[in-house]
Chains A and B, each alone.
Chain A
């Protein structure tokens, strides 16, 4: 268990950044599930829960959802907007994480800001083009958060997550040794329509590196399954049929392996991840299409 010499509870963003910048041995207290596994001695524990809009969920003028960094996974998974966003993929993803008790205190800000390689949430948010607001650095795409250097993120914290309003559907698949374990590899597939058009987006995480976009796989899916018509079918209440040949599926799995550049790590070998990711992609398409139809031709 970690130790704290003192405890601070700032009430404004400026005060929080000031306290955070006062020393190098401070720690922000979120759900503290990870923190409690360490034995480090910190000077100050900082509780951000009194910051304005930090523990609330609101909508902006575009009907996108603004989620405070201190909002718990439990609050999010039960939220009506989230349970219908992209056919509930994010809500289902959250429900797969460890346990209800843990999710009721684990915060979205603490999880995303830490950019965990094994994150369940990052692949889905990346595929859905979510944005984040850091207290110091301001708004950025999840892509930028993932590629930022640790130096650029120092002394900052995640203030808001923005889930963009859009039509579409998504699936998240992961493989784990046990239900409460980290994913050995995970894949998210999202078919999304915005005012800029419709497209498929495939991402993968636990590679063992942090989640990445899989551009070739997404482009191939766009060729094979017209996204606009697929979303239309979903919105009309029909279960769309995905018809692929075994060769199509093989090409998609190969593209995914190239895009994600799976490597060996403590949880799985590169060969295993390559094999498993292809199966997860198939499982995701199977879920989205209500059962894949393989055309032998």
Chain B
């Protein structure tokens, strides 16, 4: 809701927003055009990075209500009452997936990896929930929003395939 009691020096009316990051409640008063990416970096979530600022590269991927979204294109004011998940709270799953990624040589320069891991882990949870693995098309679709300039995606696709097989076998 608008917080009309204060107008900033830039003439903006701050917005009071309550939400959760990694299940921890937050209540902040922010500029109406502050992006979720800016807030996450301010709060120390350094896994979230900004590459293209045009909804293409996927570096700023976080989960909003359990679905991957681009935090550089969402305003903090729009996430009132919602749950945000960053890579910081998915360390165990990320570590396990990272082993498959490293085995396949998919770590490369590493710049795109945090965003790519967010999408891979989302796909893994989707597969676990429905009880069957993803098709190659689904894996490619999940990776389409994460630009990688090193690998050509084959290694990531193989790593995700092996990771999905592993977690479904042990589920």
Contact = CB atoms under 8 A, between A and B. Distances in A.
Interface residues of B, number: 34
A29 B35 CA distance: 13
Contact of A101 (B1, B35, B61): B61
B53 to A, nearest CB: 7
Most chain-B Cβ atoms within 10 A of its Cβ — which of A45, A95, A101? A101
A228 interface: no
B142 A47 contact: no
A42 B142 CA distance: 34
Nearest to B118: A101
A32 B78 CA distance: 10
Most chain-B Cβ atoms within 10 A of its Cβ — which of A49, A95, A102? A102
A105 B69 contact: yes
Contact of A105 (B56, B73, B77): B73
Contact of B77 (A3, A5, A7, A104): A7
Interface stretch (B11-19, B20-28, B99-107, B161-169): B11-19
Interface of chain A, main secondary structure:
mixed
Contacts of B15: 7
Interface in A31-59: 31-33, 36-37, 45, 47, 49
B1 A9 contact: yes
Contact of A6 (B2, B72, B80): B2
B58 interface: yes
Contacts of B11: 5
User: Interface size bucket, A side?
Assistant: 20 to 34
Interface in B19-59: 31-33, 35, 53-56, 58
19 contacts: A2-B33, A4-B12, A5-B12, A5-B13, A7-B75, A8-B2, A32-B74, A33-B73, A36-B73, A45-B75, A45-B77, A95-B141, A98-B56, A99-B58, A101-B58, A101-B70, A102-B70, A104-B68, A105-B69
Query: Can you list the 7 inter-chain pairs with the closest CB atoms, starting with the nearest?
Result: A99-B145, A7-B32, A6-B13, A4-B32, A4-B33, A33-B55, A101-B145
Interface of B: 1-2, 11-13, 15, 31-33, 35, 53-56, 58, 61, 64, 67-70, 72-75, 77-78, 80, 119, 141-142, 144-146
